[in-house]
């Protein structure tokens, strides 16, 4: 069974600072990887996803993530955060296969951006 580890539970940054949120997964096979975001008072929504191909994927609002297979990592980055990026970020993984693929989530990282 797969698992996801997010090392940072709470991150506080000033506006314009750079962001990197760590995500490591454990699974023996090929995976699909996701970052979801939950803004205050809103529903969880997809930020970006990796299925195959270029390991550097770009998502909405200037976010990107890099899949490093050898490190089982899928870290989320943004060069310059804004106050509006304050949210909770969840990394998720599912096996790369047909049929039902269970999506496993990490515990989330709360990001607080100070103006």
- Residues of this chain that bind another protein (CB under 8 A): 4, 9, 32, 34, 36, 42-46, 49, 51-52, 90, 94, 96-108
Least gap, CB of 8 to another protein (angstroms): 12
**Rg value, the chain, Cα:** 14
**CB atoms inside a 10 Å sphere around CB 64:** 16
- In terms of CB distance, is 81 or 93 closer to another protein? 93
- In terms of CB distance, is 14 or 45 closer to another protein? 45
Least gap, CB of 44 to another protein (angstroms): 4
Least gap, CB of 81 to another protein (angstroms): 22
Structure tokens at 15: 């506006």
Least gap, CB of 79 to another protein (angstroms): 25
Cβ(77)–Cβ(20) under 8 Å? yes
- In terms of CB distance, is 34 or 63 closer to another protein? 34
Q: How far apart are CA 106 and CA 114, in angstroms?
A: 24
Cβ(102)–Cβ(56) under 8 Å? no
- In terms of CB distance, is 28 or 99 closer to another protein? 99
The CA distances from residue 67 to 64, 95, 106, in Å, are: 10, 15, 16
């Amino acid at each position: 069974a797969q698992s996801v580890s997010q090392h940072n539970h709470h991150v506080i940054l000033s506006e314009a600072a750079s962001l990197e949120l760590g995500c490591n997964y454990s699974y023996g096979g090929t995976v699909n990887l996701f970052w979801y975001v939950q803004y205050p008072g809103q529903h969880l929504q997809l930020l970006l996803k990796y299925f195959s191909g270029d390991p550097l994927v770009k998502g909405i609002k200037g976010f990107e993530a890099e899949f490093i297979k050898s490190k089982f990592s899928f870290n989320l980055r943004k060069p310059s955060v804004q106050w509006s990026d304050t949210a909770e970020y969840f990394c998720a993984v599912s096996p790369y296969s047909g049929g039902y693929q269970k999506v496993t989530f990490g515990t989330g990282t709360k990001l607080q951006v100070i103006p």
